[in-house]
């Protein structure tokens, strides 16, 4: 059986890139590949049964600009990827979080079948806009973006890419609303706004808190602070004029089951999985002004503007039958356009075109 190795900085249970990578792994396995992982590290809770090989220097602990950590040993990277018939690189050669690792991986893959799966190119982040060397290119590779905006931007830079939107399991076991809310200390009639993200600046925690305050709701942030955002997060939560919950969710299904509204007021996202997950879980979503949201809205989603408190409040107070019809239509759009099966079919077409199918 041919082997496909998926490589990235790290893999974890809730990180967006990792969630998408796991979906790709399932799709590739269904197409006949024996899939394994290569990374700099794995986070607690990562429980994928497929083998993972850890390579020092591939992760995100790369020091500072003044005192950088050494990159990975090229021989170790070559050895980790040896024998793979196809390598999928998840964002490691896209976002400059570890440039030495990106260079070593790119060199190891020259002339080999590889898919560079791009989530966050440098020009889309102000602090990385000066980095011109990523993504690398090679005639043997294929490039895949998670949205059309990035595909067009890459074309402007001379790189041909294919868009494959993220795919989602459309039939999942429902979460336990009553048990989850009880664990959070909430009564049945208390309004709960969940913000299912890691706490970093672009996730706009302040706007999510303001929405919960305006609705008279409890604000639930289950994810950890990252990228040095801890002090700012502590300040925002201490000043919140609404109850705040910081417990981790038992599961994604339980998180959405417990919520009355999903807040996603981000200023930038390469895709944004939570609004789609919420639609599949029959939960309303308040979305921020990030550009790719418009691309997804064009599929038929009717997400609320995160600043339109009056419209959100009116919907929450509306007739139950009207809300159910609204949510059923949102779910239909997600199933039609963003299913795991649709994503897998696009990936299969790409592999067939490249001559890489088993």
Tens of pLDDT along 88-121? 999 999 999 999 999 999 999 999 999 999 999 9
The residues, any chain, with a CB within 8 Å of residue 275's CB and separated by 6 or more, are 262, 264, 285, 287, 293, 296, 301, 303
What pLDDT, on the 0 to 100 scale, is given for residue 120?
94
Given a cut of 50, whether residue 319 has pLDDT beyond it is yes
What's the mean pLDDT when you consider all of the chain?
95
**CA dist., res. 158 & res. 231, Å (int):** 41
pLDDT, tens only, 188-214? 899 999 999 999 999 999 999 999 999
Given a cut of 60, whether residue 132 has pLDDT beyond it is yes
Residue 45's pLDDT band, with cuts at 50, 70 and 90, is confident
What pLDDT, on the 0 to 100 scale, is given for residue 172?
83
Mean pLDDT of 71-98: 96
The residues, any chain, with a CB within 8 Å of residue 131's CB and separated by 6 or more, are 96, 99, 122
What pLDDT, on the 0 to 100 scale, is given for residue 55?
97
**CA dist., res. 98 & res. 91, Å (int):** 11
Maximum pairwise Cα distance, the chain: 63
Residue 64's pLDDT band, with cuts at 50, 70 and 90, is very low
Burial class (CB in 10 A: 0-12, 13-18, 19+), 324: exposed
The residues, any chain, with a CB within 8 Å of residue 309's CB and separated by 6 or more, are 211, 214, 215
User: What CATH number labels 3-167+339-354?
Assistant: 3.40.50.2000
What pLDDT, on the 0 to 100 scale, is given for residue 69?
63
Mean pLDDT of 305-315: 97
Nearest C-alpha neighbor of 292 from the set 166, 197, 150, 167: 150
Structure tokens at 45: 């809770």
Given a cut of 50, whether residue 166 has pLDDT beyond it is yes
Burial class (CB in 10 A: 0-12, 13-18, 19+), 43: middle
SS3 call for 196? coil
User: What CATH number labels 177-337?
Assistant: 3.40.50.2000
What pLDDT, on the 0 to 100 scale, is given for residue 227?
85
- In the chain, CATH 3.40.50.2000 covers 3-167+339-354, 177-337
Residue count of the chain, please give it. 358
What pLDDT, on the 0 to 100 scale, is given for residue 14?
78
SS3 call for 63? strand
User: In percent, how much of the chain has pLDDT > 90?
Assistant: 92
Mean pLDDT of 49-66: 81
Mean pLDDT of 32-52: 95
**CA dist., res. 274 & res. 276, Å (int):** 5
């Amino acid at each position: 059986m041919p082997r496909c190795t998926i490589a990235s900085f790290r893999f974890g249970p809730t990180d967006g890139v990792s969630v998408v990578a796991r979906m790709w792994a399932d799709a590739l396995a269904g197409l006949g590949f024996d899939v394994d992982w290569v990374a700099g590290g794995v986070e607690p809770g990562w429980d994928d049964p497929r083998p993972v090989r850890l390579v020092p220097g591939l992760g995100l602990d790369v020091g500072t600009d003044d005192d950088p950590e050494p990159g990975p040993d090229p021989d170790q990277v070559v050895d980790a990827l040896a024998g793979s018939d196809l390598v999928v690189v998840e964002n490691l050669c896209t976002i400059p979080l570890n440039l030495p690792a990106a260079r070593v991986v790119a060199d190891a893959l020259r002339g080999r079948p590889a898919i560079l799966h791009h989530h966050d190119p440098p020009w889309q982040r102000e602090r990385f806009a000066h980095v011109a060397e990523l993504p690398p290119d090679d005639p043997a590779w294929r490039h895949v973006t998670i949205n059309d905006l990035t595909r067009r931007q890459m074309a402007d830079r001379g790189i041909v890419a294919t868009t494959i939107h993220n795919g989602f399991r459309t039939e999942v076991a429902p979460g336990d609303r009553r048990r989850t809310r009880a664990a959070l200390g909430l009564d049945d009639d208390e309004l709960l706004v969940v913000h299912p993200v890691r706490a970093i600046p672009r996730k706009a925690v302040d706007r999510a808190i303001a929405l919960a305050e305006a609705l008279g709701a409890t604000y639930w942030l289950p994810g950890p602070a990252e990228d040095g955002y801890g002090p700012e997060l502590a300040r925002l939560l201490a000043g919140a004029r609404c109850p705040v919950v910081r417990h981790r969710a038992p599961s994604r299904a339980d998180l959405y089951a417990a919520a009355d509204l999903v807040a996603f007021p981000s200023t930038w996202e390469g895709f944004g999985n939570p609004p789609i997950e919420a639609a599949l879980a029959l939960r309303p979503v308040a979305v921020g002004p990030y550009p790719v949201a418009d691309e997804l809205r064009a599929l038929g989603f009717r997400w609320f503007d995160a600043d339109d408190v009056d419209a959100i409040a009116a919907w929450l107070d509306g007739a139950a039958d009207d809300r159910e019809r609204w949510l059923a239509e949102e779910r239909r759009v997600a199933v039609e356009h963003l299913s795991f099966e649709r994503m897998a079919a696009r990936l299969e077409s790409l592999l067939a075109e490249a001559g890489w199918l088993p």
